[in-house]
């Protein structure tokens, strides 16, 4: 059985709204580095941050983040 990992479409949704990482960071109250880390998969956001991101991008949180099975 493989491991479950987090897949994110944050970058896509951010680009659709023509926002820079800094813009999105300012909207949710974090630093640009955090947004970059989430987009590159280096960081898993907390539930609170994930909901804030979804609200800022006006999209359901399930559209931004999903669990995927990676093969063993």
Partner 1 sequence: MTKTATDRTERILQHSRRGLWVVLGMLALLAGWLVLLALSPQGESARTITRLIPTLLPIAIVLVAAWTRGSLGGKPFDPKEPEARAFLEDELRQANLGKSFRVAFIAVLVGQPLLAWFLWQRPYGLVLMGAFTGVLAVGSLVAAFLAFDRD
**Smallest separation, CB 70 to partner 1 (Å):** 22
Instruction: Answer yes or no whether residue 22 interacts with partner 1 by CB under 8 A.
Output: yes
**Segment interacting with partner 1 (CB under 8 A) among 1-9, 17-25, 53-61, 63-71:** 17-25
Q: How far apart are CA 58 and CA 20, in angstroms?
A: 16
DSSP annotation of 20: -
Contact 70, 3 (CB under 8 A): yes
- Window 26-55: residues binding partner 1 (CB under 8 A): 26-27, 29-34, 37, 43, 45-46, 49
């Amino acid at each position: 059985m493989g491991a479950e990992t987090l897949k994110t479409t944050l970058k896509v949704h951010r680009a659709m709204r023509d926002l820079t990482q800094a813009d999105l960071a300012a909207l949710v109250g974090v630093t640009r580095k955090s947004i970059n880390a989430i987009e590159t998969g280096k960081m898993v956001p907390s539930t609170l941050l994930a909901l804030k991101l979804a609200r800022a991008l006006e999209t359901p949180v399930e559209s931004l983040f999903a669990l995927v099975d990676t093969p063993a």
